[in-house]
Amino acid sequence: MTFQITYYRQLCIFILVIISIALILPINQSNSFLFSIRTSNYTRYSLLKNNEQYSTTVVTAYFPLSKSKHSKAEYQSWLENLLGFCQSPMIIYTSIEYQPMLQQLRRNNSLRTHFIVEYNSSLEMPPVKKLVPIFEQQYLTDPERAYHSVELYAVWCAKSFILNRISDDKNYCRKTFGQKKNVLVTPDSFNAADDLATLTLCEHTILTAGTFGWWGAFLSHNQLGDVLTDSKADHTPLDVNCRQDEYFPSWFSFLNIVIGIGLVLFIDQPNLFQFSIRRSNYTRYPLLKNNEQYSTTVVIAYFPLSKSKHSKAQYQSWLENLLGFCQSPIIIYTSIEYQPILQGLRRNNSLRTHFIVEYNSPLEMPPIKRLVPIFEQQYPSDPERAYHSVELYAVWCAKSFILNRSAELNPFQTKYFLYIDAGAFRSSKYRFQSWPYEPSIHSILANNRLLLGMISPLPRQFCPLSYTINKGPIRHNLIEGGLIGGTSDIIHWWTSVFYETINIYTSKNLFIGKDQYLMNAIALTYPHRINMMLSFRTSCGDVWFAFGPLLANQAEKQKLTFSKTCQQQNLSEVIIRFENICNDSKNVK
């Protein structure tokens, strides 16, 4: 008996030590592990390793056939065995229609996954298109035609894509790529016209700014894909003064770096670049840097309300200003229904995007579920109930949960996280690309404080600062709910305090539906944890959305025609330590 007790005591100590080590290991080291715990029907949650841990990418395609020996349900059960458990990175070819279902099987991308949704069927793929008439002719004589089809021929023949890499320096290509079976070097007997004709067959082109490449690009008329070209690092007047989307074809994009040739080039070494060229309707294609190049993940949520001041069409036009241009990685919370729309706005994931589609509404989110009866009880006494709703209360109160969960998942391994309202960029002037501007974010958040925004001066009654949570919500339009940012540590602190404050106020039957009132009370209680953006002191448009231009770089503000005052705004003058708010009379009314 003594031996058994000693053994079990030692076993328990060992387990506790392992847990302790796991908790104190620094997450941002190069060989560290990323845990991604997701709500799903799985009994186990995989340990996701970083890119260096994998040497193989698994590639699969799913295009259900109209004529098949097996049902969709059968295929989906088989797919679950592969997609739900295989930890190796995967590329999945499918249609937009089936992507949400496959993404869910792939644990909503918590397992490394890249979707290619350019084709609705294998019949649309370039090497197969030209074969369809032949398939149709030969099908009639196929002895197995009872369970074959033209679609099935297409699936089989589409498995192998040959990548054509074309250059006018043939000797270099033979020396560098000659041993590769997927490289075609045209014969020396080809003249320039023959080579250009071959170049026009490419789906996508990455070219240098020389005569050969330019003519090949123009002759192809971008019939199938996109063209990227390098431009000189020392910008010429032409680069500066000519709008790219007016002067050049929509399918040209300029990269300020000399790159190698290829269709899709993935480079794993740190501080290099990753290219994924995708078809979409946008006029410019930004250069996507790897995770080390970004320090901030932007977080948004889009769940259209049944009762709203704005239509879905309005919201989606505002969303395009953010999603179609912002190059920073973005986490988007939405439902499976709206994911394809947002993915289209996000250039079909050619801009770094992580979707979380576990919830059809914020009402389903863990900290909100229990609050729904309270929201329903408080709604009739809300003086703003004419344009509020229980759904809207849920959206507001879910922001902290959404931001905190994003910081925990951290799929892009960034240092900072910035929640903004999905509809905040309400003008085409807000089409920022380098947003938020990295040096600005670092200067604001490096002191491990939470960033909030203030839309009006502080009522004098709150100076000097001595507020406590127990005094209740502050019913003033002071702090906006559309901007919350910080490190994972400060976000975790904020989230704990936010939901604890809700518990305190519900126990006292105080109104909790409007997040701003709670945020006012928390910020005034803990001013030493807050960096406050004084939007009301700026000249950058609507104070509710001034954080957009304030967190952009000066060059983009100039290009997007913001006022000179806004362009030259010194952030240190309008982002302050909140405990100093009462020291300047301009901040108080």
- Please report, as a single letter, which amino acid is at residue 350: S
Q: Are residues 237 and 218 in the same domain?
A: yes
Whole-number Å distance between alpha carbons of 229 and 180: 24
Identify whether 324 is part of a domain. yes
Regarding whether 198 and 154 lie in a shared domain, the answer is no
Q: Would you state the pLDDT for residue 218?
A: 66
- Look at residue 216 in the predicted model and tell me its pLDDT: 66
201 and 130 housed in the same domain: no
pLDDT computed for residue 154 by the predictor: 80
129, 219: one domain:
no
**Predicted pLDDT of residue 550:** 97
**Are residues 79 and 169 both part of a single domain?**
no
Angle at which helices 132-139 and 150-157 cross, to 10° = 130
Q: Which of 230, 254, 278 is the last residue of a domain?
A: 254
pLDDT of residue 201: 63
Supply the pLDDT for residue 394.
Answer: 96
Q: Among the three residues 138, 158, 178, which one is the final residue of a domain in this structure?
A: 158
Q: Which long-range contacts (CB under 8 A, 24 or more apart) does 338-343 make?
A: 338/302, 338/303, 338/304, 339/99, 339/100, 339/103, 340/96, 340/99, 340/100, 341/316, 342/302, 343/96, 343/99, 343/117
Residue 263 lies in a domain: no
Query: Do 527 and 565 lie in a common domain?
Result: yes
Number of helices followed by number of strands (H, E) in the chain? 23, 16
* 199/332 same-domain check: no
> How many domains would you assign to the chain?
3
Q: Would you give the DSSP letter of residue 223?
A: S
Q: Are residues 430 and 328 in the same domain?
A: yes
Distance CA 569, CA 573 (A): 8
Write the CATH number for 522: 3.90.550
Q: Which domain holds residue 96?
A: 17-22+55-158
Q: Is residue 587 part of a domain?
A: no
Last residue within a domain, chosen from 196, 230, 254? 254
Two tokens at 330? 């973005």
- Using CA of residue 325, residue 327, residue 330, residue 335, what is the dihedral sign? positive
Looking at the fold, whether 462 and 526 belong to one and the same domain comes out as yes
pLDDT at 263: 30
- Whether the CB-CB separation of 538 and 566 falls below 8 Å is answered with yes
Q: Which of 406, 375, 569, 584 is nearest to 484 (CA)?
A: 406
Same domain, 304 and 248: no
Residue 98 lies in a domain: yes
223 shares its domain with 368: no
Splitting the chain (589 residues) into consecutive groups of 10 residues, what average pLDDT does each group show?
46 48 40 32 37 70 82 84 88 84 83 78 79 84 82 79 50 65 66 71 60 65 50 46 50 42 30 29 37 82 86 87 95 94 86 92 94 96 91 96 96 96 93 95 96 97 97 96 97 97 96 96 98 96 96 94 94 96 96
For residue 60, the model assigns a pLDDT of: 86
Residue 35 lies in a domain: no
Same structural domain, 249 and 360: no
Domain annotation covers residue 273: no
Would you state the pLDDT for residue 489? 96
